[in-house]
Amino acid sequence: MQLAHTAALVTGGASGLGAATAKALAAGGARVFALDLKSGIDQAPEVDGVTYVPTDVTDPEQVRAAVATAAGSGVPLRTVVNCAGIGPSARILGKKGVHDLGLYAKVIQVNLIGTFNVLALASEAIAETEADENGQRGVIVNTASIAAYDGQIGQAAYSSSKGGVVGLTLPAARDLAQYGIRVCTIAPGIVETPMLATVSDEFRAGLAAGVPFPRRLALPEEYAKLALAIVDHDYLNGETIRMDGALRMAPR
C-alpha cells in the first residue's frame, strides 16, 4: 500500500506510539489526521503533515466526524492506526476490596470498544474509495500488548482489553477482505512512552534487564517503523505481531 497522496488516521496521535506513527506516516507522504483528547492535543508539538483532531474514540459521533474529515481531505483514506489506550492497574481482590467494576468497564471501553469503533467507522469510509490495481483499498493496524498473553498481577482489565484486540484481528480481516482492507495488530512489549515517564531510572533499568535481547526498552519510533512495514507489506493480514525483544512477562 502506497502512502503518497493518501490520507491516514492515527488515534492517540498526540503522544507516545501514536505521535511517533503520525510523524512517520507524514514523512512517508501521507496526509495524517491525529485523533486524541483535547487535553492531549494542547500539549502536542506541531508536526508537518499532521492535523490534530480532538476526538474521544469511544464516542461514535466524534469518530464519525473525524473519519469524515480525513476522508474528505481530497485524497483517499487508506491507513488507520489505532494507538489510543489507557493502562490503570488494580487487583481483582486487593487491600481495598474488589476491583472497581467502573474502572474495568472504562478500560474495556477505551482500549477495545474504542478500537472497534474506529475500525468499523473508518472501514466504512475506506470501502467507498476506489481500489488500486491490486484491489486494495486500505489497511488498519491495531495496538494490543504482550499483556494479552502474559498479563501480570494487577492487569486483569488491561489484559482483557488487549486480549480482545488480538481476538478481533482475524475476524476483522476476514470481514473486510471483500473490500480490499487488511487488518493487523501489533503487540508491543515495554515501550518508552509517557506511561513510563513517572517511574524512576532504577525501575526503568529493572524493566529493561528482563528483556532477553536487545536488553533495553523499545522506542515509539520502532513501533512506528513496524506499523509502516505492515502498511507496505501487502500480504500481511489477520496477524498479530509481537514487538517485545523475546520478553515473556513474569507474574509481577
Whether 222 is in a domain gets the answer: yes
- Cβ contact 81:136 at 8 Å: no
For residue 1, tell me if it sits in a domain: no
Report if residue 251 sits inside a domain.
no
Check: CB of residue 247 under 8 Å from CB of residue 190.
Answer: yes
Q: For the residues 201-226, what does the mean pLDDT come to? A: 91
Which pLDDT score, from 0 to 100, does residue 145 have? 97
Within-domain flag for 2: no
Distance CA 59, CA 53 (A): 14
Cell of 114: 474504542
Indicate the DSSP class of residue 195.
Answer: G
Q: With 80 as the cut, is the pLDDT of residue 196 above it?
A: no
How many distinct structural domains can be found in the chain? 1
Q: Provide the pLDDT for residue 55.
A: 98
Q: Which of 52, 104, 158, 223 is catalytic?
A: 158
In this predicted structure, the answer to whether residue 193 has a pLDDT above a threshold of 90 is: no
Residue 126 within any structural domain of the chain: yes
Per-residue pLDDT for 50 more than 80? Answer: yes
CATH of the domain at 117: 3.40.50.720
More confident site: 198 or 2: 2
Give residue-wise pLDDT tens across range 154-187: 999 999 999 999 999 999 999 999 999 999 999 9
Does the residue 248 lie in any domain? no
The arithmetic mean of pLDDT across residues 49-76, rounded, is: 98
Where are the extended beta strands (E) located within the chain? 7-11, 31-36, 50-54, 77-82, 93-94, 97-98, 138-143, 181-188, 240-243
179 belongs to the catalytic site: no
Please indicate, yes or no, if residue 78 is contained in any of the structural domains: yes
Task: Give percent of the chain above pLDDT 90.
Answer: 91
Task: Give a yes or no: residue 25 inside a domain.
Answer: yes
- pLDDT at residue 146, rounded to an integer: 96
Range of 48's domain? 7-243
* pLDDT confidence of residue 198: 63
Asked if 242 and 189 count as a contact pair (C-beta separation under 8 A), the reply is yes
